[in-house]
Structure 1
Amino acid sequence: MISIDTTAATPTPTTASAPATTWVAGFRSAVLGPYEDIRIQPSRAFRDQTLRQILHMDGGGTTLRVLLSNEYGREPLVIGAARVGSAGADGVVDPAAEAVLRFDGAAEVTIPVGVRIQSDPVEFATEPGTDLALTLYFPKDTGLATYAHTPSQNAYLVAGNAVGRAAFDDAEEVDGRYYVAGVDVLAPEGTAIAVAFGDSWFGGGGTTVGANLRFPNQLNRRLARGWVVNQGLGGNRLLTDEVGLHGLARFERDVLSVPGVTHVLFHFGLNDLGLPGMSGKPPARAADLIEGFIALAAQARAAGLTSIGATMGPYGGTIYPGVDSAQGRVERRRVNEWIRTSDVFDAVVDVAAAVQDPNAPDFIRADLDSGDHLHLNDAGVRAMADAYDLAYVRL
C-alpha cells in the first residue's frame, strides 16, 4: 500500500491506551465558479437565510473539521453561525447529535475572496455512510456562491437564522451544494484514501437524487477498508477550462491537497469530445487527449500515488444538441484503445466495455441509461463500480 503523505496528514501523538490517528478526507466536493456559462445548473446568492446541506460521508472518524470555500466569490463571505449534526429524513437534525462549528474560536467567520478555510476540530464521531447535516447561516448578501452544480443531493433553505432548528418544515429544496469543499476526519493512522477525479460519471450525474448511488458511494460499499472521496465535476474537461478548472489544472487542488490520498482514479475526456459541438466546434483530438492523460499519470507518479485509468463511456444518441458527432466517436475509440493498451497508469478499468450496448458500442446499454444517453442510471453506475478489480485499489 502506498504510504500516506505526511505533509498533508499529520498523525496525532500516541498514548498507551489510544492508537495513533491522523487527518484524512472523509468527504470531498469539487467546486466551480458561478460566472461560467455552463448551461446546467446556475449558482445563487443568499441573504439572511439558513442553508442545511446533507453530506454523505465516505469515511468516518472520532473528530471532524469542515472545509469551506469562497474561492470564486467576488466579495467576502460572512458565515454568521454554523453547526454539524446527524441528518435524518428531510434534513431533520437530532439536537442530541449536533455540534457548533467555530473558526479560531469564534462562532462567526468572514472568508476572504479566493480563500478556503477550515473550521476548528470538533469532537463529532462519524462512520462511512453517515449523513452529516451542515447548517450555515448567511446574515449578509453573499453574492453568487462558489458551488457544485447537480450534486445529486438536495439542500434545504429557510429564511432568517434557523441554525438551531431541528426540522426545516417550510424549506425550499435547493438542487446544489454551496461553499462546501470537504470534511476531514481523524481516523486511524494508515487509513488510505482514493480520489475519484473526473467528470459527471464520477460526480453522480444521472443517479437518483438523495439515494447516494454515485460512483464513489457504490465502490465504497465493496471496500473492506479505506474509502474513495468524490472529486467528480459535471461538465469538466481534461484539457480546457470551461466548467471549472480543467483536469490538469485542478489536479494539485483536488487530488494532491487531499489529506491521506494514496490512489487516484481517472475518468475524463467525454466533455472534451462532446461539449465543443454545442458551440459548433470540433471535438478534441485523440492525440491531445492522450498527451493530457500522460501528463496526469506523470503528476500522480511524481506524488507517489497509485493511478487507475478508465476508458471513456459511450454517449451515442445523446439528447444534448451537438454533443454526439461522427468525429467524436472516432476520437473516443482511438483514445480508449490507447488507454486499454498503454502502461502509463498503474491499472486500467474498461468502463466503456462494462456499460456499452454490445451490439452498438457507441451507445449506453438501454437498461443502464439514465435517459439522456450520456449519463448512467443507478444500475449503470453500479456496473461501472463493479468493473473495478479491488486488487487495483488495495486500500
Structure 2
Amino acid sequence: MAGKQWVAGFRSGVISPFEEIRLAEPRGFAGQTVRQALRLAGGGERLRVRLTNRYGRAPLAVGAAGVAVRKAGDAIVPETRHGLRFDGEGRVTIPAGGEVVSDPVALPVEAGTELALSLFLPGETELATYSHHPIELSHVADGDRVGDAELPEAEEVPSRFYVTGVDVLAPEGTAIAVAFGDSWFEGVGTTLGANRRSVDALNERLPRGWVVNEGIAGNRLLTEEVGEAGLARLTRDALTVPGATHVLVHLGINDLGLPGTVGLPPASAQDLVAGFTELAGRVRGAGLRVLVGTVGPFGGAIYPGVSTPEGLAARREVNAWLRGPGTEVFDAVFDSARAVESAEDPDLIRPEFDSGDGMHLNDAGARAMAGAVDLATLRL
C-alpha cells in the first residue's frame, strides 16, 4: 500500500531444544492447542505472524492457527478472532529448519495491544523450537481449541513456542530499534506477565517509533551455548528485521559468567572487545545505528561458578573500553551497569534493583536500565 510498510511489531528470540545447557525444560505436543500472549511494541492497520521450525529435525504440521486480541489469561475477545492462512490455506507444514509468514490479517492494532496466538498441533511433535524465558505464560489444551473464547483447565507453561514475531503494516518511515542481547533484555527477574522488562520501560519513554525484543536469557556474544552466539545470529535476528533502523546491544555477562558453571575460564576482555568491534562494524555496515550497554554487575550471583575474580576483572576491563575507545566504535554507549550497580561495590547490583539472585534485575532495576538510554543518542 502506498505510504505504508511492513515493520516488526513484536519479536521473540528462539533457541534449540536440543542444547546441552538448559535454563528451562523444552517440550513437545500431541493433538494439542497452544495459546500464547504476544504484546505488541507498535501497531498498524494489518498484521502478519511469523512461525518457525528453525531448530526442528522433522517437518512441523500446524492444523489450524488463529489470532485475536487477548482479554486476560487464556481468554480472547471473540469478535476480534481471525483465522490465519498461509498462501490461502488454513493448514501449513513447516519444513525442518524453515519458517513461514501468514497471509495479512485485517486486524488493526496499536502499541500495547496483547494478542493471543493459538496453534493447533494435530500430530505428535518433537521438542519445540522455543523462547525459554519470555516472562509470560502460554496455555496448552487438548484438541483443536483455536476458535474457543477460553481454555478452561489449560496447562500453564512459562515458555513460548514456534513463533518469532508479528509484523504490522505501519506508515513509511516508522523507526524500529531491535534490543539484541541476553536476559537483561528478555526480562528475567521481572514480574511474570506484567510487561516490566527493560525494553518495555524503554518503549514507555519513546516519543516515536518502538523497540522490539530479541533478548535471549543465557545468550553469549562469542559462543554458541544458550542460543546461537550473538555474532552468529546478528543478521537474522537484528539486521534483517523489517523496518529496523537501530540495534541496541546488551551482551557479555554470560561470556564471563556461564563458563565457570562447567569449570571453564571466562572469555577474555580482549576477545570480548574484538567481538563487540566486529558486531558494531557489521551493524554500521548494514546502514543501521548501533548502541551498546556496558556489561552489568554479577558479583553477587548465587549460581555456583558464575562469579569469579577473573570474570569480574574482565568485566571492568571491557566496561573501561566501552566507556573510552568504544564510544568511537559504537554510535552511542548507554551505561546500564553504572545505572544499577552498588556504590559500595560496583561488582554488585544495588539491593533495591536485585531480583534476588545477584545476577538479574527486578522491575525497578529494569526501569533504571531503560533510563540509562539517552533518547537524544537513540534518535528514533
TM-score, length of structure 1 as denominator length: 0.95
**Take 2:226 and 2:8, find their aligned partners in 1: how far apart are those partners?**
24
1:235 is the counterpart of 2:210: no
Q: How far did 1:40 drift?
A: 1.0
Determine the structure 1 residue equivalent to 2:356.
371
* Aligned residue number for residue 61 of structure 2: 78
User: Structure 1 CA distance, aligned partners of 2:223 and 2:292?
Assistant: 19
Alignment length, in residue pairs? 378
User: Counterpart amino acid of 1:394?
Assistant: R
Q: Which amino acid aligns with 2:211?
A: V
Cα distance in 1 for partners of 2:100, 2:128 equals 15
AA in 1 matched with 2:224: D
Q: Is the 8 A contact 2:69 2:114 kept in 1?
A: yes
Question: How many angstroms apart in 2 are the aligned matches of 1:205 and 1:127?
Answer: 25
For 1:74 and 1:369, how far apart are their aligned partners in 2? 39
**Is 1:362 the equivalent of 2:362?**
no
**In structure 2, how many angstroms separate the alpha carbons of the residues matched to 1:386 and 1:38?**
32
* Aligned partners of 2:182 and 2:251 also within 8 Å: yes
**Match for 2:366 among 375, 378, 381?**
381
Matched to 2:92, the amino acid is: V
Give the AA of the match of 1:129. G
Report the CA distance between 1:89 and its aligned residue: 1.4
Aligned residue type for 1:102: R
Q: Percent identity?
A: 57
How far apart are 1:255 and its partner, in Å?
0.6
Correspondence for 2:48: 65
2:18 to 35, 50, 72: 35
Cα deviations across residues 219-252 of structure 1 (Å, max 9, x unaligned)?
0001111000001100000001111110001001
Counterpart contact for 2:22–2:226, Cα < 8 Å: no
What does residue 16 of structure 1 align with?
none
Partner deviation per Cα, 1:355-393 (whole Å, 9 max, x = no partner) = 000011100000000000000000000000011111111
How far, CA to CA, are the matches of 2:299 and 2:105 in structure 1?
A: 48
Q: CA deviation at 1:310?
A: 1.0
Q: CA deviation at 1:91?
A: 2.3
SS at match of 1:364: coil
Cα deviation for residue 43 of structure 1 reads: 1.1
State the alpha-carbon separation in 2 of the partners of residues 89 and 221 from structure 1. 21
CA-based RMSD: 0.7
Structure 2 residues without counterparts, runs of 5 or longer? none
Distance in structure 2 (CA, Å) of the matches to 1:389 and 1:25:
23
- For residue 251 of structure 1, what is the aligned residue in structure 2? 234
Match of 1:272 in 2: 255
Q: How does 1:129-278 map to 2 (within 5 A)?
A: 129-278=112-261
Which portions of structure 1, spanning 4 or more consecutive aligned residues, are displaced by more than 3 angstroms?
Answer: none
Q: Deviations over 1:139-177 (max 9, x none)?
A: 001110000101100001111111111011211101100
How far, CA to CA, are the matches of 1:316 and 1:88 in structure 2?
A: 41
In the alignment, structure 1 segments of 5+ residues that lack a partner are 1-11, 14-19
CA distance in 2, matches of 1:393, 1:59: 17
Q: Is the 8 A contact 2:300 2:349 kept in 1?
A: no
Deviation sequence 1:45-104 (CA, Å, 0-9, x none): 001000100001111000000001101011100110011000011121111011110000
In structure 1, the residue matched to 2:333 is: 348
Deviation, 1:190, is 0.5
Q: CA deviation at 1:42?
A: 1.7
In 1, distance between residues paired with 2:357 and 2:256? 17
Q: Deviations over 1:76-133 (max 9, x none)?
A: 0011001100001112111101111000000000000000110001111111000000
By how many angstroms is 1:39 displaced? 3.0
Q: Secondary structure at the match of 1:361?
A: coil
